[in-house]
Structure formats: structure tokens, C-alpha cells
Structure 1
Amino acid sequence: MTTVAAVDCGTNTIKLLIGDLPDVAVREMRMVRLGEGVDRTGRLGDEALARAFAAIDEYAALIAEHDVSRLRFCATSATRDSANAQDFSDGVLARLGVRPEVLSGDEEAALAFAGAVRNLATRPPAPVLVVDIGGGSTELILGDTEPTAAESMDIGSVRLHERHLHSDPPTAAEVAACVADIDAALDACAVSPGDAAAVVGIAGTVTTVAAGVLGLPAYAREAIDQQVLDVEAVHATVERLVTMPVSERLALPFMHPGRADVIDAGALILSRVLRRTSVPTLLVSESDILDGIAWSVA
């Protein structure tokens, strides 16, 4: 028995998986908004670091309870972009005994693809486009059993919300500016969504939009995983979320309170990617980069 632990620390969330794969004993998520303000200041804020370290302290206790033999801690967009990433790295080392690996965009994309496709009960037609929308970056990964092309773009739900969507709800001009930013990134991206025969969406923005399309009475991982959604229904749900004030988003039974304010920008990214494809459906996977990290050390 080899029990592994994987930690995925992104711009908005920090996630933990513990298990003897494929069996998972623990799957946890905390909204810490580590990347708050990084797009503007270039630094991890003191309050954001405190939130992250509090979550990591909780994870350290869980890891200690499960006799973990291998641990991999990966950090993504926020720490790639921050001038004081060493402060974060030192704090993780003190709490878990390992330093976080700050993934390159290519590494992040490969792990996300591996986590997404391994979970699928039915393999979609190739080439498959995996869309991973995070808080600070978005990865587009095209491939079959392995990635053949991948790119990480500096557009994410937290980054673009902070940059453009200042009103509640956003004004038409703010939405237009956000969409222009997304489209510029997609224009420059080496991975063309139009090449995809199927699209698999992963991570919290996509799964939350999926919960909205499905009209779930509460967020339920098992009800969302591997659902096939009509793309036009996805666009309609995105438009509805973007035009809602935060108070109405918070009232949605499936909405995590830590995602309600930034779901507008993330949902717009999803919609703009899908507009460039010819596929009629979106396949949603609840397995993502966290699962890819865990399998990499299993």
C-alpha cells in the first residue's frame, strides 16, 4: 500500500488529495485567494499568505493522520508571478517538510491533461481539447492519450475580474473589455480550439457553470462529473451569471461563496473558448490537475 498526498495551490484555491490510488481517502479544497492583487502589485499579500498558511496547517494535520509515504506540492500561476514567492516557499517547507514546485505553464498543462482524461469512462474522439480555467491562468491542452500541444495563458477568473469587472454587476463596457482581453490571448495562443473534436472542461469555474446548466439544488461532485452539456446551454448560463449581482450569485445553491465574485470572468473565458470550436457539447470532468499530481507520484 502506497499512500500519496498531492497539493495543488493555485491563485484562488488550494486543494489536497490523499489516497492509495485509484482509491481516494481525502479530497479537500479551501478558497484562500492567494493571488489576490498579484496582477496589480506583483507580490503575494500578507493577508493572502496568512489564509494560505492556515489551510496548509489543516492539510498538514490530515497528511499526518494518513501515513503518507510520498507528497508532492505544486504551485501555479500566483507564485509564478510574485516577487516574494520565497516567503511562500519557506512557509510551506516549515509546515510540510517539502518546498512547493512552481510549475511552468507546460508542466501545469501536462498534469491537467493527465488528470482530466484518466478519469473518463468513455474516451472522446481525438483530438481532445482540455480547458483548465484557474484563478490566474488558463491552460489549453490538445492531445489524445498524451498532450500534443499546450499553452498556458495569463488569463484567469481572479486576474481578469480584478483587471476589468469592477461594477456589481459588471457594466457592458467592462464585459467588453474583459472579452477583448480574452480574445487577444486566444488570438496569440498556439493551441487552436477549432482543431478539437471534443472539449473537456475541468476545475472550479467549469464545474460551477456546469452545476448552473444542470440546475442542481446543491453542488454535488458526483452529479457533475462526466456530464455532457449542450454548448448553447453553457453560453446561456454564462450570460446569466455575468449579468447577476454578487448577492444573487451567492444565493445560488451550488455557488461556493469564495467563487461568487470572480465567476463572471472565468465563465467568460469558458464561453469565448467554446465560441472558437465547432463541437456541440462540453464534457465536464471533476478530475483535474490535482489528480494528475497525485498520479505522478503514485
Structure 2
Amino acid sequence: MMKPCAIIDLGTNTFQLLIAQKHVSNGEMEILAHEQRPVSLGKGAMDSNLLQDDAMGRAFEALKEFKQIALSYQCSGNQVIALGTSILRRAKNTPEFVARVQSQLGIQVEIISGIREAELIYQGIQSSLPKPWHATSLVMDIGGGSVEFILFQENQVLGKMSLEIGGLQLQSLFHVHGEYDQSLDSSLLSFIQQALEPLDQLCQNNKPQVLIGAAGAFETLLDLELAQMEKKMSISSSCPLSINQFQKNKDLIDQISYEERVKLPGMKMFRASILPYANALISQVLDRYHIPEMWISTFSLKEGYWFFMQSQADK
């Protein structure tokens, strides 16, 4: 049996750890541990393109903790891999940060392009959906720095792109005293509409029937929906989201303060600041391309990388 491996997503806002192995009987992914920490690595770096000392300190502490968790599952050496995304693609001092992580913690860091990130996200999403899945679908992964889009039909990728319009990026451009305010809506929506233009031709030529949200903010939307419906539900990898309930929650979240958002049943504290920006992005995509159905997948980049590693090992 293959040993477990640990994959870390070094997100601009959140660091996430997946420890998984191939199930001995059916060969499927068996998740042993899943952790996330609100590191905000990109905080203060959006304008300067320099990772800040305090952010790197938070990142290093989270990675030390993740390394200990990985060791407790007998993952070591080349079985612990970290994937650098948007802010690490951009920051001028990324090489110094990566060198410290690799030398002091022994964690391999791979900085991946936006397109490679989209490919891996798609691989994770595909593995999570019910089979067969025929609908032309648009995957949307909202990170802190970038948003990845993948349009696919059955097993064919029709197009993919990465746009620098993630939640932390939008917050750095549109805020009142560091937080979302409804007075910003006009300028925020105008910016998003212009930023989405590269996606237009793809979605007009191949109209998406389903928007599939990849983990992150979409998981919080599911938590809010379930809390308001007073339901408890455990999903293994994917399920539908109510667009009607999403719009109701968006309207509410737009109107209340950060302090009030944090208290909403189902809200994760570290998502409360970014969620209005994520909601604005989701709403624009749904409206712009007239998408009638929305799903969430709990699989994303790190799961996609795990499946990629298995495919390489099987060759």
C-alpha cells in the first residue's frame, strides 16, 4: 500500500492541508486529515508585491503545525509538498520565503502558474461529481489573489483561465476602513464586470448550465444555507446549492457590518471579511452567463494534485 502524502495549498488568504492515501480495497482517495488556517499571506502585499514580515511569520507558524501533523501520519521528505499560488507567483521576495520553508522545515514548495492551478482544480472537481455528469459546467475557484475558471463538458475541457480578482485582491482595492461597505457596490461591480470580459467568448460559445464552486467561500455559503434551513448534512464531495438562498444571503450580508456577519449561524470567522467580495463575484457570473444551477465541490487544488500524483505513480 502507498504511504500517505501531505499536500499544502499556500493560498493568498488561507493555508490548507490535505493528508490522504489510496484506499487499500477500492483504490479511491482516503482522506486522513484536512486542516485550514487563516494565514492572510497576501495581507499588505497586494500593492507592494512584497510579502510582509508578519504575514511570513504567520505562514511559517502554520507550516510548522502542518509539518507536525504530517509527521504524525508518517509523511516525510518528498511526501510533504506545498503548492504556491497567486501571491507567491507575484511577490518579489517569494524566493527568500520558499528557501526558508525548504531549509528549516524540509517542505518542498512548488510555485504553480494560474493555468496549472486551474488544471489541478479541474482534476479535483471531476473526481468529486456524480457520474455520469453531462452538463456543460463552469468551475469557479475563488482564492484570495486569483479566481480560476474551467469550462468543461463531460471529460472535455473547453477552456480555462486565471484572473487576478480574488477576494483579498478586491478587498485591497475596495474598502472603507479595511472592510466591505455597500457604498462601494457601483465601483466594485464595474471593476468585476470589466475583469470578467476575457471569460465572455468562452461562455457565449459554450453556454454553461451549472456553476460549480470549488470549496472555500462556497463551503461557507453551504454552511449558511444549512443553518438557515436548520438542517445538518454531511457531504462527501459535492452537492447542489440553492441560487435563491444564495441571493437572499448575499442581500443580507451586503447590508450588515463585519461584526454582524461574524455572528451569522454557519459563518466561519475568517471568511466573514472576504465573503461580500466572493458573493459579488458569484452573483456577477450567475447573472452574466444566465446560469440556472449551482453546485459546490469540497475538492479543489490539493485534491487535484493528489490525483495527479497517483496518476504519475501508476505509470
TM-score (norm 2): 0.87
The residue number in structure 2 matching 1:118 is 127
Give the secondary structure class of the aligned counterpart of 1:38.
coil
- 1:167-186 aligned at under 5 Å gives the runs 170-186=180-196
Q: Which moved more, 1:91-100 or 1:107-116?
A: 91-100
- 1:93-242 aligned at under 5 Å gives the runs 93-143=102-152, 144-166=154-176, 170-189=180-199, 192-194=202-204, 195-215=207-227, 222-223=234-235, 225-242=237-254
- Residues 221, 265 of structure 1: alpha-carbon distance in 2 compared, 3 angstrom cutoff: farther
Cα distance in 2, alignment partners of residues 192 and 215 from structure 1 = 36
Cα distance in 1, alignment partners of residues 193 and 106 from structure 2 = 41
Cα distance in 1, alignment partners of residues 233 and 71 from structure 2 = 26
Cα distance in 1, alignment partners of residues 36 and 134 from structure 2 = 31
Does residue 27 in structure 1 map to residue 28 in structure 2? no
Cα distance in 2, alignment partners of residues 221 and 84 from structure 1 = 43
- Residues 15, 170 of structure 1: alpha-carbon distance in 2 compared, 3 angstrom cutoff: closer
Alpha-carbon deviation of 1:40? 1.5
Counterpart of 2:93, as a letter, is: N
Does the CA contact (< 8 Å) of 1:10 and 1:77 recur in 2?
A: yes
Alpha-carbon deviation of 1:218? 9.7
Does the CA contact (< 8 Å) of 1:193 and 1:273 recur in 2?
A: no
Q: Which moved more, 1:221-230 or 1:158-167?
A: 221-230
Unpaired runs of 5+ residues, structure 1, are none
Counterpart of 2:9, as a letter, is: D
Does the CA contact (< 8 Å) of 2:171 and 2:179 recur in 1?
A: no
Counterpart of 2:17, as a letter, is: L
Give the secondary structure class of the aligned counterpart of 1:125.
coil
Alpha-carbon deviation of 1:60? 0.8
Alpha-carbon deviation of 1:167? 5.2
Give the secondary structure class of the aligned counterpart of 1:53.
helix
Does the CA contact (< 8 Å) of 1:217 and 1:254 recur in 2?
A: no
Q: Which moved more, 1:55-64 or 1:163-172?
A: 163-172
Does the CA contact (< 8 Å) of 2:172 and 2:178 recur in 1?
A: no
Does residue 249 in structure 1 map to residue 253 in structure 2? no
Alpha-carbon deviation of 1:229? 2.2
Does the CA contact (< 8 Å) of 2:13 and 2:143 recur in 1?
A: yes
Q: Which moved more, 1:275-284 or 1:27-36?
A: 275-284
Cα distance in 1, alignment partners of residues 261 and 5 from structure 2 = 36
RMSD between superposed Cα atoms in Å: 2.3
Q: Which moved more, 1:203-212 or 1:110-119?
A: 203-212
Greater length-normalized contact order (CA 8 Å, ≥ 6 residues apart) = 1
Alpha-carbon deviation of 1:220? 7.5
The residue number in structure 1 matching 2:79 is 70
Unpaired runs of 5+ residues, structure 2, are 23-28, 311-315
- Residues 220, 270 of structure 1: alpha-carbon distance in 2 compared, 3 angstrom cutoff: farther
- CA deviation vs aligned residue, 1:88-107 (integer Å, no higher than 9, x gap): 20122024424311110110
Does residue 49 in structure 1 map to residue 50 in structure 2? no
Give the secondary structure class of the aligned counterpart of 2:270.
coil
Does the CA contact (< 8 Å) of 1:6 and 1:16 recur in 2?
A: yes
Identity %: 27
Cα distance in 2, alignment partners of residues 238 and 18 from structure 1 = 33
Q: Given the alignment, which residue of 279, 282, 285 partners 1:267?
A: 279
TM-score (norm 1): 0.92
